[in-house]
Amino acid sequence: MNRKNIFTITLCFCFIMQMFSQEKQVINTTEKYKQFGLVWGLLKYHHSEVSKGIYNWDEIFVENIDKLESIQTQTNLDTFLLNFVLSVKESKIKTDTTTDNEFTKNVDYNWIEQYSVNKELYTRLKKLENNTSIGNYYTSKSGIPTFENEKGFKAFDYKIKSHRLLELFSFWNVIQYHYVNKYLMDKNWFSELENFIDDFANGNSQLKYELAKTNLIVSLNDSHSYFFSKTVLDSLFTFKPPMTIVDVNDTLVVTRIFNKLVEKDDLKLGDLIFEINDMDIKSFLKQKIGTKISSSNEAHLKYWTRFLMWNKEDSIKVKIKRKDLVTTKYIHLYKTLSKDEDYSSLPFFSYKKEWQIIDDNIGYINLKTISKDDLKKAFEEFSNTNGIIIDLRNYPKSISGSDIANYTYPERKEFIKVLFSSRNRPSLAKFDKPAISAIVDPFKAGGKNSKYYSKKIILLVNNTTQSKAEYIGMAIQASPTCITVGETTSGAPMNVTLFKLPDATEIQFTAMGGFYPDGTGVQRKGLKIDHFVKETTSNFTEDQYIIKGIELIKSTTNKEN
């Protein structure tokens, strides 16, 4: 017998053994749900007919998911999945495998390879993977994903397992195919799917169900994706402390107290809390808040410090330092705190006006509420100042980055690159511009201006600088004399999109990716910082951001003189 015949026999034997092994392999319930949910999602966004919305795709999910109970082996499941694919009108296929100029870090179709033994199923799924002949019923083709036709599932009931699994796979698949920042998550979205399935499959009480949903959304690591379940909040954050705290370098400072309520616990303004329930503040924040709130980074997580001492019991254990004395005690907590309660607060220095001259000929602008007209007046007034401090530790209500660039750019320039979903290629993305860019490029600002403000500009940012504020910050940073001072920002610079879950809960997530013109990403990282502010528990009542800004402007002025 020649070598060729031996090789052929060996190959056939291996194939037969593989088929035999698969036929005998018992498949677990989680794996059955997983594979069906993957195929269902692929058809939803890649099939030419399903993606037009001509099928009630949620109803079809619910009708089929319970049929998996009788399936015992992978071979049987392959047959079921093939029949499921064949149950809808055959898809029109327009294949495009090119990825030139496309952002491919979110592409993840390797799971289709498991069906290579079933040639017909495998071939059909592979064709759908690269199909560009798709409708836009479930999302738009504008590059900015919108989901207006996701209206919830009629008569949704979390007590029904098929409904809970529909909730999971509806959201999981929209993130899988239309979330351009998916590649930035801490944990791989696909690898987490089995854990999500177990959570939703077993979430037969309202609290378990709402916790499963919370865990799902927290996994996005997106500061825009906050979700507050009343059931979860009521179960974990029932009682409140009789004080307000602020996180300064992972130490909590008591900044406000309800005078009568704190007497029994001997609490005073300025007390330092550095342990809660025998854990350091940073670790406790991650464990208690980080598992319930989606955050792009640790800086944004600190924004939710105010919930840190809320508890499901009416007291909480803390370790407190007052001067050199350290004590461990339980602080009483309360379900309600009266608005009329007498209270005391630490004095914080802040500038009250939207714009003014400060500290020996330095301009100050607070962007929170300033109008375009006042912005114009401010820059006219500041034309001969030694420098300007622009405060962006807020969310501007009335101005845009372009409004400021008109005074701070010598010429028109690009300040941001934006990553959009590809219009007919789920999972892919592209650095693109909206249709209006044919008229005016929205990612450029400023214009020819020989009288632009050329002295030092100090931009102040912190963890409250988010979304539109970060976008405006990027525009200001492109000013040739700008220096950014502060701490890491929220790390969610672009617009949000809304997705309505089957249970009618609306979840938002960042719709695009924001990058500096040099390609540096801002999502999760936050804005570039030139000088980080070093606040301490002894100096935080004085505005260290402003102090640093004045110092930088004066140092430049002294050099020039």
pLDDT band at residue 118, thresholds of 50, 70 and 90? very high
Please name the amino acid found at residue 50: V
Going by C-alpha positions, the residue among 220, 189, 192, 241 that lies closest to residue 290 is 220
> Could you please report the per-residue DSSP string of 124-153?
HHHHHHTB-----SSS-SSSS---TT----
Inter-CA distances, 240 with 227, 252, 266, 319, Å: 20, 15, 17, 17
Task: Summarize pLDDT for 211-232 with one digit per residue, the tens.
Answer: 999 999 999 999 999 898 999 9
Q: Are 485 and 550 in contact (CB under 8 A)?
A: no
Domains of the chain (ranges; CATH) run 21-203 (no CATH), 234-345 (2.30.42.10), 355-560 (3.90.226.10)
Task: Summarize pLDDT for 125-182 with one digit per residue, the tens.
Answer: 999 999 999 999 999 877 789 999 999 999 999 999 999 999 999 999 999 999 999 9
Q: Give me the torsion for CA of 305, 307, 313, 318, rounded to 10°.
A: 20
**pLDDT attached to residue 437:** 56
**pLDDT attached to residue 140:** 86
Chain-centre distance of CA 229, in angstroms?
A: 17
**pLDDT attached to residue 433:** 78
Q: What is the pTM of this model?
A: 0.92
**pLDDT attached to residue 311:** 95
Q: Are 294 and 218 in contact (CB under 8 A)?
A: yes
Mean pLDDT of the chain: 93
Chain-centre distance of CA 542, in angstroms?
A: 32
**pLDDT attached to residue 1:** 54
pLDDT band at residue 59, thresholds of 50, 70 and 90? very high
Between CA 361 and CA 363 the distance in angstroms is 7
Please name the amino acid found at residue 226: Y
**pLDDT attached to residue 440:** 77
- Residue 87: CB atoms within 10 Å: 10
Task: Summarize pLDDT for 61-84 with one digit per residue, the tens.
Answer: 999 999 999 999 999 999 999 999
pLDDT at 549 over 90: yes
End-to-end CA distance of the chain: 96
Residue linked to tokens 């009250």: 352
pLDDT band at residue 91, thresholds of 50, 70 and 90? very high
**pLDDT attached to residue 20:** 45
Q: Side-chain half-sphere of 555: how many Cα atoms within 13 Å?
A: 9
Between CA 245 and CA 256 the distance in angstroms is 7
- Residue 21: CB atoms within 10 Å: 11
Going by C-alpha positions, the residue among 344, 458, 438 that lies closest to residue 390 is 458
pLDDT at 98 over 70: yes
Strand 387-391 and strand 362-366: pairing? Answer: parallel
Burial pattern 263-280, b for ≥16 Cβ within 10 A else e, equals eebebeeebbbebbeeee
Chain-centre distance of CA 414, in angstroms?
A: 25
Between CA 496 and CA 186 the distance in angstroms is 20
Between CA 394 and CA 386 the distance in angstroms is 24
Give the single-character DSSP code of 519. S
The residue-averaged pLDDT of 507-522 equals 97
Task: Summarize pLDDT for 287-322 with one digit per residue, the tens.
Answer: 999 999 999 999 999 999 999 999 999 999 999 999
**pLDDT attached to residue 373:** 97
pLDDT at 16 over 50: no
